[in-house]
Amino acid sequence: MKTSLILCSAAVMAALVPATLFVQTAPVQSAVAAPAATTTHVSIPPTVADPKALAAPPVTATAVITAKIATVATRPATKRSSTKRAAVTSAVKKVAATTTAAKSVSVASSSSDLSTARSVLASLKATYKYLDGVTVEMGTTPGGYQAVSYFTRGRILISTRHTASISRILKHEIWHIIDWRDNGKIDWRESVPPHNAADYLK
């Protein structure tokens, strides 16, 4: 009877002990495992592996690079613009100076030509009849002719762009005036001097 009780007690204890150990072990294992998992999760730092940390620096770097590129691209454009303005201003000044110089030369040339023309005309007046009161001027002639004789008015206009000598021009033009004043008609036209030019000497 005692033996049966002891075996029964032993069997009960054997059945109870593993259950108790299991119950005690499970919480221990759970308690050990849980903190490790929790700690691992919580201890992940926001390093460069964090997408947010990776995203911010490239944007900033790009902005800086873009700003630098924009600055570099803009400055030469401004310099070129200033250079172009300076070149245009210089060119305008050169053209203005050239034009002024050309006008000065033209005025001086016209003045010299007019003086020469008056001197030659005075000599012709002293040589031929019908030339009293005849005048000569320098200017722009109609049709681009080197000279025009207004025979009814006794006026000779020589082009400032003439290529023939003033002496040759006047020795031709005076004859249109002499032709008209001789009989009120134009008989010789361009066939001057006439074959009887000696008849009009003073």
Per-residue pLDDT reduced to its tens digit, 44-86: 344 344 444 444 454 444 444 444 444 444 455 555 555 666 6
Q: Would you state the pLDDT for residue 45?
A: 40
Spatial separation of the C-alpha atoms in residues 6 and 3, rounded to whole Å: 5
Domain parsing of the chain, residue ranges: 111-200
Tokens for 7, please give them.
Answer: 């075996």
Closest listed residue to residue 193, CA positions, set 124, 139, 112, 106: 124
Q: What is the pTM of this model?
A: 0.50
Count CB atoms within 10 A of the CB of residue 157: 18
Q: Is the pLDDT of residue 151 over 50?
A: yes
Q: Would you state the pLDDT for residue 109?
A: 73
* Three-state DSSP state, 49: coil
Per-residue pLDDT reduced to its tens digit, 88-137: 556 555 555 555 555 555 565 778 999 999 999 999 999 999 999 999 99
Domain 111-200: CATH architecture, name and number where available: 2-Layer Sandwich (3.30)
